[in-house]
Structure 1
Amino acid sequence: MRPYNPLLGYFGCSKQPKYYLFFFNKLCLLILSARAWYNVIMKGLTITNHQSPTTKCAHRVQRTHAVTIFICFLLLCSVDLPYAQTGLQGMRLPFRASADTTMDRFQTFDLNSPVFGVNQIMEGTLSDSYIVGPGDGFLITVWGKRVDSFQTTVTPEGKLFIPQIAEIPVAGLTLAALQDTLTTEIGKFFFDVRVSATLVRLRRFQVYVLGGVLTPGPYPAHAVKRTQELIGQAGGLLDEASVRNIQIKRHGQVVETADLLRFNRKGDIRFNPYVQDGDMIFVPLKTDSITVQGAVWAPGGYEFRKDDTMTTLIKLAQGFRPEAYQREVELVRFNDDGVTTSTSVLDLSDVTDMAWRMPLRPDDQVFVRAVPRWHETLQVSITGEIRYPGLYAIERKATRLTEIIEKAGGITEEASLLESFIVRADTARIVDTEYERLKEVPIQEMNPEEYAFFKMKAREQRGLMSIDFHRLLQENDPAEDVILKNGDEIVIAIDRETVLVSGAVASPGAIVYNSAFTITDYIERAGGYGWNARKGKTRVIKAKTGDRIKAKNVKQLGPGDTIWVPEKPYRDWWSLFLQGLSTAGQIATIILVVDTVSK
């Protein structure tokens, strides 16, 4: 390869030997032009007015010739300079590939086709760190006095063919390094040109995805596909498959380890690497784990990775919650015997502390305590016949029932103090194991004591507090003014002002409450007993407690109470007669047999 000649470059000539003709033409015209102008100038100095017209005419002819020669020189420079600068006019001839490949080393691709179009192939912006390999297609543009471009593909040998120049090894280079290499190599042949290389086709290859995936096997890939995409093509990970220790093997060696959990949790692209030609993705099974509990956003167990630190674990758990007490974080670690443990307390309040970089071990447990009562919100609800129902804030062990009723604007005129109540949330959440057991037992199998207990618990409203609102608000009894707790529900009932009569009466329904009425009065207002009423089984269901009381034991009815008159059970007297007759016959037969045997 000939060295660069600055004299040729001055005349705008290519560095190829075949283009020395341009230099020779320009040099000759320059010498002739200089000689002609020299004659014109020198003779022009000797011409006087006394010389003959013939001499003056000859001088004018020489001057005309000099101007003509100079114009020819300028035309030659302007016409052949662009051609000499690029020298790529004949480069579109196809170059036949070697016999061991079907891919042309140099092709003219249709850039608008759906297969090769730049706007079709590129799935995203490529960084300069993209690694070039066999099969990548490039658009090479040479910028000089004229602009020309051509398309070429990296050969299976890893070379990029530049027509009439050389085959340049490019496999393994990044896009940035490829740009520099092409500029340097083409710059050895052409003066003052700029070269750009644009990736317009991605190479295709196969990658094996094996191990803990649904459908292991080979899958098509290209150089901008990442590990997670190929695992998705293989049907995704199995439940027992590793998420943080996925191996990328190249030439039999593990070159990278993908951590898809960190990639999906934090968006760190480093843990979801690109694949390359000949790669194999192997998904092992989960083995060791580490745990974090307490005041973090995502507590639980996480798969262990050998380079895990305290920082890694806290980031996997999405960081500390605001109430986390970072000055005393407990780390529980198994000793070498694998049985006993040791506990250490770490101060993670300072992110620059060495404790953040502490390496973790398999089965480590981290406990993050919370500051007690951090931003504690205490509130109660009040609903029903109150002027401003809703939620109200309270102070721990300080706010009383009357304060909330006063804040809510007081009760309305339609309120029923006798039926109003409070449900305490923490008491309602208590589970009665005996009642839960009896709910699964058939009634026929319960003994009398169990059945009585079951009926009592079934009628009971969980968390109901015994508060007499009438004594509280009408008589100002301080004993009824209880201190409220977080989650209490205050219900101010509506005054129904009726008594419900239901069951075996002529016209069951609600009857306006009258404090002077007895049970008989209400039943008469309902049309009297029905023909099949069991008068002796009449019961009163109290509105406040839900208790069922025998009618003869009720001294005073109240608003909202229910009078229930049960029906007589249906009896098939003929069937009963037949059953009795059959039983009498059986008894007579037994007596007859016994009497016969005794004789």
Structure 2
Amino acid sequence: MHRYGTWVVFALLGGFLGTAAAQNLGMPARQAEPVSVELLRRLEPPGTPSALALEGPIDPHRYRVGPGDQFMVTIGSTPPQTFTVEVSATGSLVIPEAGALNASERILAEVQEAAQSLLKAYYRNVPVEVTLSRPRTFYVHVTGAVPVPGRFLASATARVSDILQQAFTSPRLPEEEEKGENAAAIGSARTALHAFYQPSLRNVRLHHRNGETEHLDLVRYYAIGDLSQNPYLTDGDVVEVPAFHTNRDVVFVFGEVPYPGLYDYRAGDTLLDVLLLAAGQEGLTRFDRVRLSRPVAGSDSVQVMVQEFAIADLLADPARAPQLRPGDHVQFLVHRQPYVLVTGAVRYPGSYPIVHGQTTLAELIAMAGGLAPKATQRFAYIERGPAYPPMVSAGDTNAVSWLPSQASNLDVFAKISLAQNLQQRWLLVDLENAWAGRGPNTRLFDGDRVYFPEDRNSVLVVGHVPRPGYVPYVPGQSARYYVSEAGGPGPRPRGIYVFNTATGRVREGLQTPVASGDVIFVDAQPAPDTPEMARLVLEEQASRRQSRMQTAQVILSTFATIAGIITAYAAITR
């Protein structure tokens, strides 16, 4: 099902691309370099070439013979007579005393069989053997978006990636070649590509002398080892590396995959093709779904078409994978197990899986082995990130959101100061009332951090005091005692507030009773040190003055009304 959504219009630079595009799609910004460029950057100069550096035994039914191939001929057995022969520049293989045959462009198995037939006709009743002893070397041509295009020496066992490694890492220039130095390439340096263009390893073209052309995806070879995209070279091949525009000709891949980034677009690409490059054949099975977002340009805006696919369905039926277009955004959707982190005074602190928005605090306490003996029985904290509001569901009557805004008698400066002291983003759970009732039923969200404090038998004093911190709890003492133990109020005290940590209620005054675990906040006279803070304080003061004036007007109006009623009553009763 297609789902269209209007997208914010932004300045287009060659299409729907760049960081702004990724952010408007709710995706991370694209990385600086495309995947093809990153692969080229990691290439190292090849070592000393050797025609005998093989991947394994040469397959005689696939290898094609050409000028320069060397064969070893063995005649007899005790001791055998051996000698080497080489395919001539014209493609002939001449065997002394036996004859000659045309070997160029023929399959190795055919050449061996023909050569042995010639030998057996001359050496009757004698065992003979013809084997390829040393593959030939030849020149191939590299052109297109390479630093030094030109002619490169290659072996018959070399693949396309080998010659491109030379073309992109060779430090030699033509002048050095003319001096007789061991340069890898004979060519000419060229002007660097424009900043918007880079070599495309996904669209390499291999032109053969017979007129055939192969279209190769070297990134697919590097990513999943597809050898069909990295064939052997033959004499006189031309390897063409086109350039692609890093803003227009790319597909964006995001998500928790091994190889996210920008992939140069390849004609005929399907969604499954790019998924395999980004995650690998085996790695792809670890993901559930993928989202394809495609920009659709309108007359004055850009819309985004969004589709989601089950990866298992694409693997089972690759024909269902849609064709990609330049500018498409592919995002892997990862299902992550929601969890909460439990710390503090429980038997087994740690990370626990939950059902987002359903698992209750009581269930979490049971998973953590229950409260430790040293835990306070009065309250617990739930620290909740900004992704979810610090609120509770309608049935969560045992939790309150303990934020400075609850202290309605604090002005803006006091609220800011309190928030800085306590760094509020907590849900405060009243465990005492919860245990007495139906238990703590606060619903938990993914990423919550639940802290069960120890019973410190102390009171926390913060704010405008010389020695903020914990003061040992003494039953029966009021706020005055604890403020005094913290060094007394500072030089600009304005108010004393006691926060009941179990209920979240706030009371004011030095004579306020205090319980173990409560927090005492000593407010200070405003001392704004920035223009913004000064503005907030002035606005708060103006608001309070306006409120007092309105209250006075209401009182005066009430008195005037009462006076009018009394006057009227007196006039009537005379």
Q: TM-score range by the shorter chain?
A: 0.5 to 0.7
Tell me the amino acid that sits aligned with residue 205 of structure 2. Q
> Which stretch of the first structure deviates more once superposed, 291-300 or 384-393?
291-300
Tell me which of 212, 235, 239 is aligned to 1:277.
235
2:177 is the alignment partner of 1:228: no
2:472 counterpart residue number: 512
One-letter amino acid of the counterpart of residue 365, structure 2: I
Contact 1:205 1:277 in 2 (8 A): yes
Query: What TM-score does the superposition give when structure 2 sets the normalisation length?
Result: 0.57
- The answer to whether structure 1 residue 384 and structure 2 residue 344 are counterparts is yes
1:495 aligns with 2:460: no
Provide structure 2 residue ranges, at least 5 long, that are not aligned to the other structure.
1-47, 170-191, 391-409, 528-574
Superimposed CA distance per residue, residues 358-414 of structure 1 (whole angstroms, 9 cap, x where no aligned partner): 8947559698998xxx98744433221112223444456653222322343321232
Q: 1:263, CA displacement in angstroms? A: 1.5
Q: How does 1:34-73 map to 2 (within 5 A)?
A: none
SS state of the match for residue 406, structure 1? Answer: helix
> Structure 1 residues 556 and 270 mapped into 2: Cα distance closer, same or farther (>3 Å)?
same
Distance in 1 of aligned mates of 2:296 and 2:524: 70
- One-letter identity of the residue aligned with 1:185: L
- Per the alignment, residue 264 of structure 1 pairs with 222
1:187 to 105, 113, 120: 120
Structure 1, unaligned runs of 5 or more = 1-114, 431-447, 570-599
Residue correspondence of structure 1 range 401-480 to structure 2 within 5 A:
401-418=361-378, 420-425=380-385, 427=387, 455=417, 458=420, 461=423, 463-473=425-435, 475-476=436-437, 480=440
What secondary structure is seen at the aligned counterpart in 1 of 2:476? coil
Aligned partners of 1:381, 1:340: CA distance in 2, in Å?
Answer: 40
Q: CA deviation at 1:483?
A: 2.9
Match of 2:68 in 1: 135
What are the residue-to-residue correspondences of 1:5-404 with 2, within 5 Å? 121-122=53-54, 124-128=56-60, 129-143=62-76, 147-235=80-168, 240-251=198-209, 253=211, 255-286=213-244, 302-306=263-267, 308=269, 312=273, 315-316=276-277, 318=280, 321=285, 324=288, 349=313, 355=319, 360=323, 362-363=325-326, 377-395=337-355, 398-404=358-364
Take 1:548 and 1:241, find their aligned partners in 2: how far apart are those partners?
A: 67
Q: Supply the distance in 1 between the matched residues of 2:219 and 2:509 (Cα, whole angstroms).
A: 70
Shift of 1:169: 2.5
Q: Secondary structure at the match of 2:215?
A: strand
What is the alpha-carbon distance in structure 1 between the residues aligned to residue 495 and residue 304 of structure 2? Answer: 69
> Is the contact made by 1:121 and 1:200 (CA closer than 8 Å) also made in structure 2?
no
Distance in 2 between residues matched to 1:564 and 1:346, nearest whole Å: 58
Q: Which amino acid aligns with 1:424?
A: R
Change (3 A) 1:183 1:117: farther
Q: Specify the alignment match of 1:484 in structure 2.
A: 444
Aligned CA distance change for structure 1 residues 486 and 352 (closer, same or farther; 3 Å): closer
3-state SS, counterpart of residue 415 of structure 1? coil
Distance in 2 (CA, whole Å) between partners of 1:254 and 1:455 is 77
**What's the Cα RMSD here?**
5.3
The separation in 2 between residues aligned to 1:501 and 1:312, in whole angstroms, is: 62
SS of 1:466 mapped into structure 2: strand
Contact 1:426 1:487 in 2 (8 A): no
Cα distance, 1:295–1:411 mapped onto 2, change above 3 Å:
closer
TM-score by length of 1: 0.55
Q: Residues of 1 paired with 2:147 and 2:464: CA distance? A: 68
How far has the Cα of 1:246 moved from its partner?
0.6
Query: 1:417 touches 1:492 (CA, 8 Å); kept in 2?
Result: no
Contact 2:379 2:429 in 1 (8 A): no
Q: Secondary structure at the match of 1:172?
A: coil
Shift, 1:476, TM fit: 2.5
Indicate conservation of the 8 Å contact 1:415/1:493, yes or no.
yes
CA apart distance, 1:124: 4.0
Q: What is the identity, as a one-letter code, of the residue corresponding to 1:495?
A: D
Amino acid at match of 2:346: I
Deviation at 1:269, TM superposition (A): 0.7
The partner residue of 1:534 within 491, 501, 522 is 491
Q: How has the CA–CA distance of structure 1 residues 559 and 213 changed in structure 2, closer, same or farther, with 3 Å as cutoff?
A: same
CA contact (8 A) 2:462 2:519 kept: no
Distance 1:548 1:147, change over 3 A: farther
Q: 1:482 to 1:242 in 2, by over 3 A?
A: same
1:231 Cα deviation from its structure 2 partner: 1.4
Quick one: distance in 2 between partners of 1:509 and 1:195? 98
8 Å contact kept, 1:307–1:359: no
When residues 201 and 483 of structure 1 are mapped into structure 2, their CA distance, relative to the original with a 3 A threshold, is: same
Give the Cα separation in 1 of the matches to 2:346 and 2:264: 55
SS of the residue corresponding to residue 451 of structure 2 reads strand
Quote the residue 2:24 is aligned against: none
Shift in CA distance, 547/188, structure 1 to aligned 2, threshold 3 Å: farther
Q: Specify whether residues 449 and 169 from structure 1 end up closer, same or farther in structure 2 by C-alpha distance, changes over 3 A only.
A: farther
Cα shift at 1:260: 0.7
- Superposition map of 1:542-581 within 5 A: 544=501, 552=510, 554-556=512-514, 558-559=516-517, 561=519
Distance in 2 between residues matched to 1:133 and 1:152, nearest whole Å: 13
Shift of 1:256: 2.2
- For 1:455 and 1:561, how far apart are their aligned partners in 2? 14
Q: AA paired with 1:179?
A: Q
Letter aligned with residue 275 of structure 1: L
Conserved 8 A contact 1:144-1:192: no
Aligned residue in 1 for 2:32: none
Which deviates further from its counterpart, 164-173 or 390-399? 390-399
Distance 1:353 1:470, change over 3 A: closer
Give the secondary structure class of the aligned counterpart of 2:234: coil
Q: CA deviation at 1:499?
A: 4.3
Query: Residue 529 of structure 1: CA displacement?
Result: 6.3
Q: AA paired with 1:469?
A: L
**Structure with greater contact order relative to length (CA < 8 Å, sep ≥ 6):** 2
Give the 3-state SS of the residue equivalent to 2:71 in structure 1. strand
